[in-house]
Structure 1
């Protein structure tokens, strides 16, 4: 499976709340760098995200891949309903770094957390 297919699977699994399938896309030491939750092992990050989430809707705006690199960028809108039924929507860029087995080694999430941070703190 190529990087774009993995990126599409990532978005689908994340939107559907299939955390085990999301984590399976990462290698054993895979890490997530999130502006809201900090740097965590992928399994820990996605368990925390799922525990704070009632629903997610993701709409991909673009998948960007530069030749001869192990990285890809996903640009999407994230409509997030938190477990207390508060809603927030924002644009996100995820930078995904792959290992040589096409497993995700690191995922860096980039978005403006002003509204989301306040809502998560209220949980």
Structure 2
């Protein structure tokens, strides 16, 4: 397989999606702050959105609007874009729900640091 600069240029969307996903996963795994974990999850969701939209793209294709006078043309696949619209709504809803849970956790424990919460819980269990 020939690996050169044109291969990277042709697949930059996929490479960008992978890099974003890795950044989000790293953020989720390495930070104990719950807000930072939510930000990492949002970065991962964004990378999935980029990946799906990139799958639907066809170079040189036109929007999927059928015009009988234009003849035969190649169309961009509209299904990934429609799925992503639903995915964005779900992602925003999950983020809002997670932030509301974090607010309740802060009210209960006085912190949003996961390590401190686990220490508080272990002390409560010992008593």
Which bracket does the TM-score occupy, shorter chain normalised? under 0.3
TM-score (norm 2): 0.23
TM-score scaled by structure 1?
Answer: 0.23
* Structure with greater helix percent: 2
- Whose strand proportion is higher, 1 or 2? 1
